[in-house]
Structure 1
Amino acid sequence: MSLKNLHYIAVEGVIGAGKTTLADMLAKTLGAHLILEEFEENPFLEDFYRDPEHYAFQTQIFFLLSRFRQLQELRQVDLFRQKVVSDYIFEKDRIFATLNLSEKEMKLYDGIARLIEKEVPRPDLVIYLQASTQHLMENIRKRGRPYEKNIEYEYIDALNELYNRFFFHYTRTPLLVINTDEIDFKHNEDDYRDILVQINQHTGGTRYYVPKKAR
């Protein structure tokens, strides 16, 4: 699966996995259009981390519609001429909804999501950055975003478990799963180059990459 033949790549991972960093690096390497989650635009996010029970539904619906609007814009892009890299897939929204919403809220969410998800284009490749909860928490603390200061270990741990379960069963597109606990592709050029090699060697289906130093 050559990089030059991939027109739409999506990078995924739990909060703190480095998906935005990798998406940005890939976009620069490929000269691709970059689509990033607009999490800082969500007016409910900081309130959600402070009081999840009261702000989960508003937060989730904002993200759902924001992601839909962004990915709908891809329909206006000629993907054979303009490559695209994003730092999320549309289906990830349901992972958060499953964790955060009550049963009644989930039914309403499902009704909205099912109406719009069939209109969203699929990536040619999804890259899932897998990491331990401890590694994710370290990254979250390092970057020091104010609205993330109240995120608890238990929340990230539960989210990490849901992500791993989701991608274990994921078959909608080719998938590359990369263990990132012992690599630093942002600061180590060799680590980033290894990821590019793994993408180029991907032949379809699901491929797992565990760097030697992570074994």
Structure 2
Amino acid sequence: MVIVIGGMIGLGKTTVAEILAEQLGSQVFYESVDDNPILPLFYTSSKEEIEAKRYPFLLQLYFLNSRFKTIKDALQHENNIIDRSIYEDWYFAKRNRDLGRISDLEFEMYEKLLKNMMEELTGLPKKAPDLMVYLKGSFETVLKRIQLRGRSYELDQSLVDYYKFLWENYDDWVLHHYKASKVVMIDMDKYDVRNASDRHEVIQLITQNL
């Protein structure tokens, strides 16, 4: 069984993935952030630099490639947890296209590559997860949790505006467009996984749907 943990940054995806893996005796495959050479450039460059050097498109290609490798690695084992899904990468790419940061042609190429990567082939393990655990929350909760992470560059005003843009359509995408697996939606306005009792309740909500 492969489970993906999705949702806005700051809501506790990595923590939920780790406590769920401990509960199930499985492994976590993490989102590639700290070793991502493009992400700091994307976060800190001027609008003109971002436009000229096409960082949003490069970033989405980087995530697509690393996420696909994660899927292949996870499928070699019986049970695994993936920190964010490749399907959410498409959502991020689309929202950057909506902002004009990714061109229509770049997005078309991205979609064709993703479709080719994710095509299910007879005789090979399926690539879709068995369950998505989607962490949702108010934008106020998102910002509060990001502040607690202590990464100062994540709270630049232009980034806060970008987070708001992503957050506005995230729930709608999961509810009406994501079709790859069953979804368990957890309201992180109600839970703080730094708290032991909240962690226990969240794990119960997930395991009831396995």
**TM-score in same-fold range (> 0.5):** yes
Conservation of the 8 A alpha-carbon contact between 1:17 and 1:131: yes
1: CA distance, partners of 2:135 / 2:11: 6
How does 1:53-202 map onto structure 2 within 5 Å? Answer: 53=51, 54-77=54-77, 79=78, 83-100=79-96, 101-118=102-119, 121-145=127-151, 147-150=153-156, 152-169=159-176, 170-186=178-194, 188-202=195-209
Counterpart Cα distance in 1 of 2:161 and 2:105? 23
Question: SS at 1:27's partner residue?
Answer: helix
Query: CA–CA distance in 2 between the matches of 1:17 and 1:195?
Result: 13
Pair 1:41-2:35 in alignment? yes
TM-score by length of 1: 0.82
The residue identity in structure 2 corresponding to 1:92 is E
- Give per-residue Cα distances to partners, 1:103-129, cap 9 Å, x unaligned: 121112112111102256222211100
Q: Unmatched 5+ residue regions in structure 2?
A: 97-101, 121-125
CA distance in 2, matches of 1:45, 1:200: 33
* Aligned-pair CA distance for 1:152: 2.4
Is the 2:12–2:193 contact (alpha carbons within 8 Å) kept by the matching residues of 1?
no
For 2:207 and 2:66, the matched residues in 1 are separated by: 31
Structure 1 residue runs of 5 or longer lacking an equivalent are: 1-6, 204-215
Q: Could you tell me whether the CA contact under 8 Å between 1:68 and 1:90 is conserved in 2?
A: yes
Task: Provide runs of 4+ in structure 1 moved above 2 Å.
Answer: 50-54, 74-77, 145-153, 199-203
Output the amino acid matched with 1:137: L
RMSD across aligned positions (CA):
1.9
**How far apart are the structure 1 equivalents of 2:153 and 2:118?**
28
Query: How big is the shift at 1:146?
Result: 5.0
Which string of whole-angstrom CA distances, capped at 9 and with x for unpartnered residues, describes residues 113-162 of structure 1?
A: 11102256222211100011121111112212255243622211111123
Q: Distance in 2 between matches of 1:153 and 1:166?
A: 20
Q: TM-score w.r.t. structure 2 length?
A: 0.84
